[in-house]
Chains A and B, each alone.
Chain A
Amino acid sequence: MMSNDPTLVVDAYLDDELDLAHVLELEQRFASEPALAQERDRVQALRALMHDRLPREVAPQGLATRIESAAGLRRTPSRPSWSALAASVALAAVFGSGATQLALHAATGNPDMNTVIDSHLRALMAPAPTDVSSSDRHTVKPWFAGRITQAPRVVDLTNEGFPLLGGRIDVVGRNPVPALVYRHRQHLISLTAVPDNGRGGAQTRTIAGYNVLAWTDNGVRYWAVSDLGSGDLDTFAKAFQASPDR
């Protein structure tokens, strides 16, 4: 049975949503009812106009890249399941701005540690964990040249199970510092290198489910942050420390 509202049927006819019996019935009405045929012509003209004139926009290239990075999908050799990735969507940045540090809660001891966690949580919404995405240390390391004054130590830990994803620049106390991003299974690790002449010892902490591991080497204070287990994060730190520069 046909709808009482003829205009709905005309649209459904043009949209190919009518079954054959109704198509036949309507085509007979078009022949005998000029007004209905004109209605059809108007709607068809509009459909054609929209089809011909409206831009078929595609998403900007950078958008897909940013989203994939934010979701941890970039440069993963074996594609992990999306649900597993959900756990590691929590990504990257380690240090925030000076303003962030002012806003720190004084709940726990080390302000740097709090900054690390706060920044890590905020990074959930960051568009990408890296500014330069490459698994090649010879691409990542030169990228920092000209952007910051220190040449960071970049090592390839693929054989140890921590492939390099890329790097970015964090800002710590208004100073740009290099940060590297590594991956272990579906987890991302941010490693930020802050120039520090002190002799801070190794430090481990778990806050809000994230593990933070800090150590000092050669005048650089390294901060590793991840939702990786503390044992795995420790393995990562040892692999980084033990890896030769070349």
Chain B
Amino acid sequence: MLPHIDDCYRLARWLTGDAADAEDVVQEACLQAFRGISGFNGSNARAWMLTILRHAAYRWLRKNRPAALIAVDDVDALAGRQGNGAAGPGVETPEAVLIAKSDAARLEAAIAGLPVAFRETLVLRDVQGLNYRDIAEVTGVPIGTVMSRLARARRHLIATIGTNE
């Protein structure tokens, strides 16, 4: 009856950061989907539904967390904190080992700290399992932007959790 509601709920949780707020956003998105069902072209219901959810979440953010959206294009601050890929200081000791030992709470906090544009791209790929093409459709950006946001988000997480603290 309500396909993709779990997908919607997960994305809403990551975008709003709160379970109750996520429920409100999902409900609004679902009701919008019911009203707008005639606008659905029938090809990819999941991406269509997630697109509506994302718009609802952004409306919610604009209203309740405007600061979160100001940081959307704060790519440079994010890029500045990441190591320069293979040339980073951790070449000798494989960070992969540290990363694998990182606990869930630290990981979640690191993801929650990502600017929303990077967070949604990461969540759509690594939590929801969407392919690049669908992520591009949902977030309304070219695939190249999806790739770059995803790579930057991951490098930022690696830099954040792949260290001893």
Contact = CB atoms under 8 A, between A and B. Distances in A.
Asked if chains A and B come from one complex, the reply is yes
Given A59-B6, A67-B30, A71-B30, A41 B107 contact: no
A57 B16 CA distance: 14
A58 B35 contact: no
B71 to A, nearest CB: 22
Interface in B1-35: 1-2, 5-6, 8-10, 13, 19, 23, 26-27, 30-31, 33-35
Nearest to B10: A57
Interface core residue of B1, B33, B94, B104 (most chain A CB under 10 Å): B1
Contacts of B30: 67, 71
A165 B7 CA distance: 29
B154 A66 contact: no
Interface core residue of B34, B91, B103 (most chain A CB under 10 Å): B34
Interface core residue of A8, A42, A51, A85 (most chain B CB under 10 Å): A42
B99 A63 contact: no
Given A46-B154, A54-B104, A41 B6 contact: no
B109 to A, nearest CB: 12
Interface stretch (A10-18, A19-27, A203-211, A231-239): A10-18
Contact of B148 (A8, A39, A68): A8
Interface in B89-135: 91, 94-97, 99-100, 102-104, 107-108, 125-127, 131-132
Given A71-B34, A82-B34, A59 B103 contact: no
A54 B157 contact: no
B1 A85 contact: no
B9 A71 contact: no
Interface in A30-68: 33, 35-36, 38-39, 41-51, 53-60, 63-64, 66-68
A71 B31 contact: yes
A-side interface size class: 35 or more
Contact of B26 (A7, A59, A82, A89): A59
A42 B95 contact: yes
A63 B85 contact: no
Contacts of B103: 53
Contact of B154 (A43, A51, A56): A43
B127 A54 contact: yes
A222 B124 CA distance: 50
A200 interface: no
Nearest to A6: B85
Given A46-B154, A57-B10, A86 B34 contact: yes
Contact of B38 (A10, A56, A83): A83
Interface in B136-155: 147-148, 150-151, 154-155
Contacts of A6: 85-86
A38 B86 contact: yes
B90 to A, nearest CB: 8
Contacts of A127: 27
Interface in B68-93: 85-87, 91
A58 B100 contact: no
A73 interface: yes
B126 A42 contact: no
A56 B104 CA distance: 12
Given A42-B162, A73-B1, 5 more contacts: A35-B85, A41-B96, A45-B96, A58-B6, A63-B27
